[in-house]
Amino acid sequence: MQNQPVKFLRLQQVLERVPIGRSTLWAWVKQGQFPAPHKLGPGTSAWAETDINTWLATKVEGGR
């Protein structure tokens, strides 16, 4: 079985999926309440889509 390639999301794409403001997102990252981005290069960070999907799933499950 082959692993699926990792799809990365940039900040704006994450904010489209998670309806919070930019400063709230960074505060949550700093507090450990939201997945940290992966450093892809100088000045380039992105989130693994699987990390965001997993985080969202825990919020949906936690709300039930």
pTM of the entire predicted model: 0.84
Domain with 16, as residue range(s), is: 8-62
**Taking 80 as the threshold, does the pLDDT of residue 63 lie above it?**
no
Domain count, the chain: 1
Average pLDDT over all residues of the chain? 92
Q: What tokens does 16 get?
A: 């489209």
- Other Cβ atoms less than 10 A from the Cβ of 38: the count is 13
What are the backbone angles phi and psi of residue 26, rounded to the nearest 5°?
A: -65, -35
In a domain, residue 2? The reply is: no
With residue 15 as reference, give the H or E element that holds it.
helix 11-17
Q: What tokens does 14 get?
A: 């994450």
Question: How would residue 5 be classed by pLDDT, with cut points 50, 70 and 90?
Answer: confident
In a domain, residue 35? The reply is: yes
8 Å CB contact between 9 and 44: no
Please write the tens of the pLDDT for every residue from 16-36: 999 999 999 999 999 999 999
**Taking 70 as the threshold, does the pLDDT of residue 1 lie above it?**
no
